[in-house]
Structure 1
Amino acid sequence: MTDTAIEAAPESTPRPRWRRLAANTSFQVLIAAVVAAIFGIVAPAAAASTQPIAKAFIALIQMLIAPIVFLVMVTGIVATGGMKTVGRIAARALIYFEIVTTVGMLLGLLAVNLLRPGAGVAPPAHASDELSSYVAGGAKDNSFGAFLLNMVPDNAVNAFATGSIIQVLIFAVLFAVALIRLPDRISRPIVDGCYKLTDVFFRMIQMIMLLAPVGTFGAVAATVGKYGPETLTALMKLVAVSALALAVFVIVVLGGVALLAGFSLPRLIKVLRKELAVVLGTSSSEAVLPQLMERLEQVGCRRSVVGLVVPTGFSFNLDGVAVVIPICVVFIGQVYGIPLGFGDQLGLFLVFLVLSKGTAGVSGSAFITLANTVAATSLVPVAGLALVLSVDRFLSLVRALTNVLGNAVATVVIARWEPDGLDRALAARTIGWSRTKTTVGE
């Protein structure tokens, strides 16, 4: 665009309000969801066949996640200048993740024990047919040693091909450290190339996000068409208790953390409204991972923090999963009349601490984590998973929203915690950072 065009832009006639609203991605996603729900009720057979549309949209996003995580991680580490800073950021992030997810699990256990949503609920017959495939998909070695072994890629190309975020992170760290140790005449062109490639991939994401309403239509239509409108009321106790617990977690825990860190959670939510709208439509937190990283840089978080905290958080800081999975396990026990005492729930808590790590943010993967937890603890019947499966789509929605918000808050907090990790002037304009409030880490 020429300088003349830039100067002339303010003189142009502003678009009517309705046209601006129609061009808004969040509005388009909302309309697509409403139309899809109506379509699912009117023509359930045809609506159920739209599931590939949603899967294709999420696949387009997933196609770019591994390279974007790699490039942002490499450029972020190089920008810090060494592993000392990276190690400090990683240590602080992991400590924060562990504290917050532990609080989330305890809140979930408190909610399910107080409200007892499993009383009087019968297993839905339509969910049983799908249960075996989900349980089979979740059957794997759940030992801590296997988890550590799976973190290390035995093939760098395979790490990108399978989309294993943790493996890509480890490869990116090694690559970045090697760049730092090389002479500037060798490393500088490579680093510059990484920055340019990052811009290319983010531009591709912007192009793909134009299809967000289409992906939302496919996801919502398939859900309503497959299970029928009665799914909206089936097992509402479980959905309501989970949603209530997650709301309390967001308002009290994340809101309290934001207050201590000196920024406004409502203003952060407003900044992330487009990303949250996509999550609302697709029930997948991973569908907005690249956009979330870009948005957090725009609110003032340095790339060195964003590139490490966000991808790591999507494996170690799934707050929504931490709250909901304990609720689901105890819920199954309540339905089958199996009392879970303090010792049983403590065991559940400890097992989930291990099994929850490394869970990707893909829609549905939390159900596999639930299956692993049920199998590992043997506290409740595996057949009880059919109870949760019938409403897992709706649980996935509220989990994903909480996951995205939790990782956004974590990134701002860690950036606030780091020297020069946050552009405070920019943060003040975007998320209301205040110098006068109590701060974390100072």
Structure 2
Amino acid sequence: MKIPQFIRGNLLLKMTSLNATVIAIRLVVSLFIQRLLAEIVGEAGISKIGQLRNLTQLLTSVSSVGVFNGVVKYVAEHKDDKEQLQKLFSTAFVFVVLSIVITGVTLFFAANIISNYLFTTSEYAYIIKLIAVTIPFIGIHRVFNGVVNGLSQYKKFAKIDLLGYLLSAVLTVILLLQYNIDGALVAIAITPVLQLIVLLYIFIKVLREYIQFSSLQFKVPLARSLLAFSLMSFFSTVLINFVEIDVRTMIVNRITEVDAGIWTAMTFISKNYMVFSAAIFTLYVLPKFASIHTETGFKKELLSIYKTLLPIFGAGMILVYLLRYQVIEIIYPDFTTMAPLFKWQLAGDFVRLGSLVLAHQFLAKKMVRNFIFTELLSLGLFYGLAYYLVGDYGVEGVVMAHFIRYVIYFLVVLILVWRYFRIQKRTIPNDSED
């Protein structure tokens, strides 16, 4: 089947169409797994799975010291400069080794404390210790994945993403059927091992072209540059997962664990379709913005991205909303109180997509203060509004907070990006914050 000319001539549309195929397959598999989880572990089990997934997402950033976006940016900019790439990977290597050791040891010896914090019981301390063992795989996978994204190797990314997801899905189903909730948690803990194996199997030849493994040095020539991305990653990934863990705990304490499971199920659905945009951000938006240095060029590219993505995304979200009862019946047949959450979650995610495209200018131009300010504002608004609204609206108040937060976030990011270009016109253009 031939790809239509208007798609072949547009890199973003080519990525989007390929990504849509991958996401469609993932969604079908995810529907099956989520249905199985709902039937076997129920709302309380879904809540526990949400807690562990937040922890692993947090560790994805911590184990690589948050250098992922830095690797994407510098690989995109210096892919033909072997010397600069060697400096980049030597610095990333030192960062990752130190972080793996510190994080792994901390997790292993504080397993009981962490288990109590996440699950209000030390029963799952063995899961935390298992994750401590897989920390090296998480950190290394994150850095290598940054190379895939920086080179915009979207076809290989699609293969890696899909094969890794399918293998982890099979593992989850097998362990869930044999060991119930414990099996599901173990599957989440060891999934990073499968993901790294898949990435190396598909991408190892390209990695060898850009990373001279035998010449890596225990030196940090790009420490300052990468630490800026580490700082931004702390606020965008680490804190957001802490906040989600605390919000889920707050729902358990103020309402019930069943309601926490309902909200977690809603976020699972959200994350499944938001994966569609996540790959586009790192494969296309970030490298593209990093190469644009004028306001005119930025506006043109931003408008092109919006015209391409927002109609597709919006149409999909309208369809999900219209079919929300069928979605619940298919995936979470007993989670009937989830229906009112859809309108707020979907509206919030649509505004979020537009916001995050714009906010990637902060990452592309290393605008650290602006990035941190907007992330803290977003997280503070979400936690504060969720805590306030849950008293009057129950679990629906949490998704209402999600929507309000991103409306305000979008407006603030828009003002700061506009301000950046106003200042740029009065100064010598550079690749740092004002």
**TM-score tier after normalising by the smaller chain length:** under 0.3
- TM-score, L = length of structure 2: 0.27
Kindly indicate which of the two structures has a greater share of residues assigned to helix.
Answer: 2
